[in-house]
Structure 1
Amino acid sequence: NGAWPKQLADKSVVKYENKLTEQLLAKIKATTVKHATIDNHATTREINSLVKAYSETTNRKYLEAAQKGIDYLLEAQYANGGWPQYYPDKSMYRAEITYNDDAMINVLGIMFNISNKAAGFEAVEEKYVAKSKVSLEKGLSCILKTQVLQNGTPTIWAAQYDENTLQPAKARAFEPEALSASESVNIVRFLMKIQQPSAELKNAIENAVKWFDANKIVGFKFAQLADKKDKGLVADASSTIWARFYDLKTNKPIFGDRDNVIYTDVKDISYERRNGYAWYGTWGNNLVREYPKWLKMLAQK
Structure 2
Amino acid sequence: MRLQLLLFLTTTICLISTCLATPQQPISLALFEDVIKHWHDQNDDDQSDYFSPGEVVGIADTMLLYQRSNGGWPTNKDPLRKLSRTEREQVLADSANNDASLDNRNTYPQIRYLAAAYGQTGDPRYRHAALAGLEYILTNQYDNGGWAHSPPRTDRYYGHITFADEVMPGVLHLLRDIHQLHPDFDFIPASTRALCSEALAKGDQLILDLQVRQGQQLTVWAGQYDRSTLKPVAGRSYELAGLQSWESVAVVDYLMSIPQPSPQVIRAINSAIAWMDKVKLQRIRIERFDTPPVRFAYHTSTYDLRVIEDPQAAPIWARFYDLQNNQPFFANRDGSRVQSLAEVKRDRRTGYSWYGDWPADLLSKRYPEWQQRLSRHNN
Gap regions ≥5 residues in structure 2: 1-69, 292-301
Size of the aligned set, in residue pairs, is 295
Tell me which moved more, 228-237 or 144-153: 228-237
Q: Give the aligned residue type for 1:47.
A: I
Is the contact made by 2:74 and 2:100 (CA closer than 8 Å) also made in structure 1? Answer: yes
Name the CA distance, whole Å, in 2 between partners of 1:75 and 1:135: 10
Cα deviation digits, residues 209-261 of structure 1 (max 9, x gap): 00011111123332314878520223452422110100001101010111211
Paired residue for 2:163?
A: 99
Is the contact made by 1:182 and 1:283 (CA closer than 8 Å) also made in structure 2? Answer: yes
Name the CA distance, whole Å, in 2 between partners of 1:272 and 1:45: 29
Q: Give the aligned residue type for 1:93.
A: Y
Tell me which moved more, 231-240 or 48-57: 231-240
Q: Give the aligned residue type for 2:91.
A: I
Paired residue for 1:296?
A: 372
Percentage of pairs with the same residue: 35
Structure with max Cα Rg: 2
Is the contact made by 1:254 and 1:263 (CA closer than 8 Å) also made in structure 2? Answer: yes
Q: Give the aligned residue type for 2:304.
A: D
Residues 271/57 of structure 1: CA separation in 2 closer, same or farther (3 Å cut): same
Aligned with 1:233 (options 307, 311, 321): 307
Q: Please, what is the CA RMSD of the aligned residues?
A: 1.9
Paired residue for 2:72?
A: 3
User: 2:134 aligned with 1:52, yes or no?
Assistant: no
Cα deviation digits, residues 112-165 of structure 1 (max 9, x gap): 110011161222222222111111111111101110001111000000000011
Higher helix fraction (1 or 2): 2
Q: How does 1:191-270 map to 2 (within 5 A)?
A: 191-225=255-289, 229-236=303-310, 237-270=312-345
Tell me which moved more, 58-67 or 29-38: 29-38
Paired residue for 2:152?
A: 88
Cα deviation digits, residues 184-217 of structure 1 (max 9, x gap): 0000000000001110000000000000111111
Gap regions ≥5 residues in structure 1: 8-12
User: 2:356 aligned with 1:281, yes or no?
Assistant: yes
User: 2:134 aligned with 1:65, yes or no?
Assistant: no
Structure 1: which 4+ aligned runs deviate by more than 3 Å? 18-24, 29-34, 225-229
* 2:282 counterpart SS class: strand
* 2:284 counterpart SS class: strand
Aligned with 1:149 (options 195, 210, 213): 213
Residues 287/23 of structure 1: CA separation in 2 closer, same or farther (3 Å cut): farther
Name the CA distance, whole Å, in 1 between partners of 2:118 and 2:309: 49
Normalising by the residue count of structure 1, what TM-score does the alignment of the two structures yield? 0.92
* 2:306 counterpart SS class: strand
Is the contact made by 1:225 and 1:234 (CA closer than 8 Å) also made in structure 2? Answer: no
Is the contact made by 1:217 and 1:242 (CA closer than 8 Å) also made in structure 2? Answer: yes
Q: Give the aligned residue type for 1:284.
A: P
* 2:268 counterpart SS class: helix
Is the contact made by 1:157 and 1:180 (CA closer than 8 Å) also made in structure 2? Answer: yes
Is the contact made by 1:85 and 1:96 (CA closer than 8 Å) also made in structure 2? Answer: yes
Q: Give the aligned residue type for 1:264.
A: Q
Is the contact made by 1:257 and 1:270 (CA closer than 8 Å) also made in structure 2? Answer: yes
* 2:351 counterpart SS class: coil
Cα deviation digits, residues 31-59 of structure 1 (max 9, x gap): 46441211122211211111011011111
Paired residue for 1:10?
A: none
Cα deviation digits, residues 243-280 of structure 1 (max 9, x gap): 01000011010101112111111111212221211000
